[in-house]
Structure 1
């Protein structure tokens, strides 16, 4: 994953680098080769992103956004045919029927489900809030063990059939990666240490909400797994991460054991994985899961709105810590729903993962929120 001048990464991979390193260390010769090839591709992409940094990217956030009043969903799925040269061959465009290619059709549905969540629930028109076309590129590379968002497009490998299935199989993975783009435009949160863990956490939140909404699941019904179905039956694991029970997603001779903590007392301090961004995200993940299940009903209704408003809060800084983010979620709950059950549920959830926020520090902010209440229908919003 690579940095650019916007202080966050525009190359986000769903499989953390430490997992591919585990495969390279513990896997068969073929698995080792595929893992090392995947790491090499990711390293090259980081270098490309670093070489493309500059003022135009920085200026993108400074351009006033136009008023959006209607749905502008525009999806295109490209078939890379196991090559690496973009864009590939157009396989399915907005409004086209199923193709019969599972990766193409799953990507198309995932792009649509993600767009619909942000538009119909949060009144946001695509990733940038201004109708950004959603492009996906499937069948990328040969046995590429990852999927990523590079600031412009979604890219999916086919996996190897030994450890990983195709990366379009889990719709929350698609939602997760696209949500990185939302954080880039609304944040930013630097992709390192606690801020990076929050960046990953927000993508897990919105990715899970995409899946739950497509399945019409309440918070109580949801499995709260990220990447369920992605690991093959040969792997001793159920997903890449568990938001409900961090640290329990997998325990496998090749992949190792899920390293995520569920409490701040177990926060992992490391230089690997950009300071543990995929590891320590388990702490806020569990807090959100507790909030959503205790609020009951659909997780996107109240819990999702509180978290979206927190992402939009101008006091969220590139280097914000988990405790600072927790304070802002409580502030958002009070602003949206008043001092009552919602506030207490959010406060209690953070306390259960070792983040205690005093009432004095979570008072009302002196700024006007962008959204006063959840929109039942898409709303006109100025940017």
Structure 2
């Protein structure tokens, strides 16, 4: 689950002097934890007929329960309902779809016309909004710290953007790749708002969730792409913890390794690149970032350095090597202290290499091995290549279970739980692991 409000902020609210606020925050944290366990796996949707691209929005009302999806209250083309949250969600979903279609030629999140689903009035004064792998879900806020989460178009764009990331690179929601996942969502959310307002990079406020706080909070937004660490400074919420450069990178095990905290670093890099290029952000830096995601130019576990390398390369491909645009992107990453990775680092495995990783268990141990693809018999290679299409649903990773990741160039990059893999596949993976580990020992 990707929630717009980070857990560290909600934890601070559980100590709020007002019992109603502290209770709302506690309930939100409890629900969030449940959703992390139950997070749905989305199934791509393809248009059945050849029609001109158009949004397919469906808004549901959870009626302040946590039952999803809720009752359908507005479909594509229906008139406004008069329910502010319903109509705000409908309009913001449309604004996000329009950005993707009219600026980047992408038909919805998956490029194939996937319907846009949203549920409003989720939970009892629920203090968050999230993408559950299938739909956007929005709480009404507690009314004292947070307003309704549909009230900010960039928050809606942010949640939808997680669906776009999921449909492309699917950045692992942990550590630096997780921070990049959050950052890309912030970038797209900001682009949606900027385009809706017709603002250039110089005119934009670069805030995520401006107006989401009530007047009782000392803060202007959840995050600032232009100046991470300055969005709020409140007696109850504390100070915005986001770093603006690698010099202040936060090494933590909370919040999935600081995904909402360290996203400030790539956020600021995008802001610097966008303002350095100038004009409309979606025409400059936005196209570069989009190219990296849509073109799958990084691996799902990419770190900041790998992403920086990919954006510099993408800027050269789009605007020309040595262009002012490419220079602006390179300078932006240098300003935040991220050095590009060495050639090939952070990219999918080489074409002639099979990489196998087994991790998990209560101890969290990791075993990794690589073998030349030529070392496998043709039926073995074919079995691994087809694995992504044949693996059973029960093979999803589970808490404390063993997980396998298999990479073969750009043909295979899959992570599955050991409990759902066929015996013959497990035997093959273990054999590859043993061969790779023996090879490493011989080299040593």
Report the TM range for the smaller structure's normalisation: 0.7 to 0.9
Change (3 A) 1:359 1:68: farther
Larger Rg: 2
Specify which of 212, 236, 251 is matched with residue 194 of structure 2. 212
1:46 aligns with 2:29: no
Q: Which structure ranks higher in relative contact order (CA pairs < 8 Å, sequence separation ≥ 6)?
A: 1
Residue 265 of structure 2 aligns with which residue?
283
Asked if 1:16 is matched to 2:9, the reply is: no
Unpaired segments of 5 or more residues in structure 2?
A: 352-444
Deviations 1:332-362 (A, max 9, x none): 0000110210111111111110123389789
Q: 2:320 aligns with which of 313, 338, 341?
A: 338
User: Whole-Å Cα distance in 1 between the matches of residues 5 and 257 of structure 2?
Assistant: 15
Give the count of matched residue pairs: 347
Distance 2:336 2:118 in 1: 36
Paired with 1:14 and 1:27, the residues of 2 have a C-alpha distance of 23
Query: Which residue does the alignment assign to 2:105?
Result: 123
Superposition TM-score, scaled by structure 2 size: 0.74
Distance 2:213 2:13 in 1: 13
Structure 1 residue corresponding to 2:162, chosen from 172, 180, 185 = 180
Correspondence 1:199-238 to 2 at 5 A: 199-238=181-220
* 1:293-372 equivalent positions in 2, closer than 5 A: 293-339=275-321, 340-357=323-340
Is the Cα–Cα contact under 8 Å of residues 207 and 221 in structure 2 kept in the other structure?
Answer: yes
Conserved 8 A contact 1:327-1:361 = no
- Taking the TM superposition and a 5 Å limit, the aligned residue runs for 1:139-158 are 139-158=121-140
Q: Check whether the contact 1:347–1:356 (CA below 8 A) recurs between aligned residues.
A: no
Deviation per residue, 1:288-332 (Å, 9 max, x gap)? 011111211110012111001111343411221101100100000
1:3 paired residue number? none
In structure 1, what is the Cα distance between the partners aligned to 2:15 and 2:168?
38
What is the aligned partner in structure 1 of residue 422 from structure 2? none
SS of match in other structure, 1:25 = coil
Q: Does 1:25 align with 2:15?
A: yes
TM value normalised by structure 1: 0.86
Please tell me whether residue 77 in structure 1 is matched to residue 59 in structure 2.
yes
Change beyond 3 A, Cα 1:221–1:258: same
2:118 maps to: 136
Cα distance change, pair 244–66 in 1 and its aligned pair in 2 (3 A): farther
Aligned equivalents of 2:293 and 2:51: distance in 1? 22
CA distance in structure 2 between the partners assigned to 1:268 and 1:70 by the alignment: 46
Contact conserved, 2:46 with 2:113, CA < 8 A, in 1?
A: no
Unaligned runs of 5+ in 1: 1-10, 368-383
Q: 1:69: Cα distance to partner? A: 6.8
- What's the CA shift string for 1:6-58, capped at 9, x where partnerless? xxxxx211000111101113443222111110011111112222xx67xxx6x
Give the structure 1 partner of residue 274 of structure 2. Answer: 292
Please report how far the alpha carbon of residue 68 of structure 1 lies from its aligned counterpart in structure 2 after TM superposition: 7.3
Could you list the per-position Cα deviations for residues 253-290 of structure 1 after superposition, in whole angstroms to 9, with x for gaps in the alignment? 11111000000111000001000000000001011011
Do 1:68 and 1:125's aligned partners in 2 also have CA atoms closer than 8 Å? no
Task: Decide whether aligned partners of structure 1 residues 328 and 13 sit closer, same or farther in structure 2, where only a CA change above 3 A counts.
Answer: same
Report which of the two has the higher share of strand.
2
Residue of structure 2 in register with 1:245 after alignment: 227
Distance (Å, rounded) in 2 between the aligned partners of 1:30 and 1:204: 29
- 1:150, CA displacement in angstroms? 0.6
Provide, for residues 79-134 of structure 1, a one-character-per-residue CA deviation record: whole Å limited to 9, x for no partner: 22212222322222111222221111110111000111111111111111111111
Question: SS of the residue aligned with 1:139?
Answer: strand
Question: In structure 1, how many angstroms separate the alpha carbons of the residues matched to 2:117 and 2:312?
Answer: 35
Partners of 1:310 and 1:316 within 8 A in 2: yes
RMSD: 2.4
| Secondary structure, counterpart of 1:292 in structure 2 | helix
SS of 1:280's equivalent in the other structure is coil
The question of whether the paired residues in 1 share the 8 Å contact of 2:153 and 2:192 is answered with yes
- Tell me by how many angstroms 1:188 deviates: 1.8
